[in-house]
Amino acid sequence: MKIRVGVIFGGESVEHEISIITAIQAMNKMDEEKYEIIPIYITKNREWYTGEMLKDIDVYQDFNLIKNYSTNVVLYYKNGSYVLQKKNGLFKGVVKEIDIIFPIVHGTNVEDGVLQGYLQTIGIPFVGSNVYGSVAGQDKVIMKDIWKEANLPMTKYTWFYDVDYREDKEKILKEISKLKYPLIVKPATTGSSVGICVCDNEDSLKEGIDEAIQYDSKIIVEEVVQNLKEVNIAVMGNYEHQKTSEIEEVLSANKFLTFNDKYIGGGKGKLKGGVKVPTKGTSKGMASANRKLPADIDGSMRKEVEEIAAKAFKVLGSSGNARIDFLIDEKTNKIYINEINSIPGSLAFYLWEAKGVEFTKVLDEMIQIGIKDYKKRTSKTHSFESNILAGFANSGGIKGMKGAKGKLR
């Protein structure tokens, strides 16, 4: 019997379209001998849909096609099973049963622990990091604070909330002045290089902060690595074991890898709402970015990147398949860890293929890790029998609350 895999993608995120591309890439490469693949698309207004047509990239250019020809559903636990149930209509029957969820989502409200929290609450097995690992993997401030405690090499940084900047701009700018220009300003919890600016002076810094605040309430400012070479590596596993992929060197004409570099520059497609929506079979998403694979680094540097990546993955409590980005100062040969992508664009399949592991095998491993994580999670004690409520009632606590009802109002 095939394992029924519900692939969740989309969501209320600035990376909504990128999630669609990544998910369709993955669904087309899953082993259909082992898995029944069930697409679950979350719209930008948080409605959930399922249907075979959602495996085709073309349908996303006309939302009316989705509304008219796929099924609006909810996911929940019912009679010992996890089900997609029809949300509207006279007969709200079960559309599909699900064995495991594979979240292929990017950015806020989905990759950042929000979706994982729901999945964990209803108890369904799922692929990837749990709530804690997902939060740490999405919030650059939490991520860097954890890595700092683990003594991993990073550039100097500071962070603040938008409300604090608005209330006392000079205080925040004074704190930032302890860092050396050029600086890079980032929204702390978004991805895909959205809202990021490199600043050479205070005027451009203010502009960069104003831009970042449009996307997030939490802003991080970091020193820029000079003589920059950017390399990325993927890590597969969980807190118990980790293995690393081939290392890529990312090529960009910009000071950092932009949204266009990642998703638009190398693929064909139609512009829609400022985002390139690829026509069927044309885009490779993140896989289309310019790169050297393998990266042009020596053996000792390669080993250092691999060791730091595995440690960074473990201390965040990550699981599944993550991509970790590094910055190298070519003049000093100093390596800095930059950030982790818990659910990377294209699932970083090309980094594994460069090491001889096909995309289908990568997806299979991710699902198997998800199953093992679920078994470990459910083997732990999360509740215990007690008569605390009976004891509370017998002590007169409930009666006391009833008597105080009027006062509390």
Task: Give me the tens of pLDDT residue by residue for the chain, a chain 409 residues long.
Answer: 999 999 999 999 988 999 999 999 999 999 999 999 999 999 999 999 999 999 999 999 998 889 999 999 999 999 999 999 999 876 778 999 999 999 999 988 999 999 999 999 999 999 999 999 999 999 999 999 999 999 999 999 999 999 999 999 999 999 999 999 999 999 998 765 678 999 999 999 999 999 999 999 999 999 999 999 999 999 999 999 999 999 999 997 555 554 455 444 444 333 233 333 333 343 455 555 689 999 999 999 999 999 999 999 999 999 999 999 999 999 999 999 999 999 999 999 999 999 999 999 999 999 999 999 999 999 887 776 766 666 655 666 555 555 555 554 4
Task: Kindly give the interhelix angle for 169-176 and 202-213, rounded to the nearest 10 degrees.
Answer: 120
Superfamily of domain 157-223: ATP-grasp fold, A domain (3.30.1490.20)
Beta strands across the sheet bearing 94-98? 94-98, 81-86, 71-78, 48-50, 35-42, 3-10, 100-103
What single-letter amino acid sits at 336? Y
What architecture does CATH give domain 137-144+226-251+290-378? 2-Layer Sandwich (3.30)
pTM of the predicted protein model: 0.86
Domain boundaries defined on the chain: 3-126, 137-144+226-251+290-378, 157-223
Give CA separation, 343 vs 105, 108, 226, 326, 334, in Å.
7, 12, 28, 17, 27
Give me the CATH topology for the region 3-126: Rossmann fold (3.40.50)
* Contacts with 292 (C-beta within 8 Å, 6 or more apart), sequence order: 248, 249, 251
**Alpha-carbon span 27 to 29, nearest angstrom:** 5
Task: Kindly give the interhelix angle for 140-149 and 299-315, rounded to the nearest 10 degrees.
Answer: 110
Q: Do domains 3-126 and 157-223 have the same CATH topology?
A: no
For 345, phi then psi, to 5°, come to -55, 135
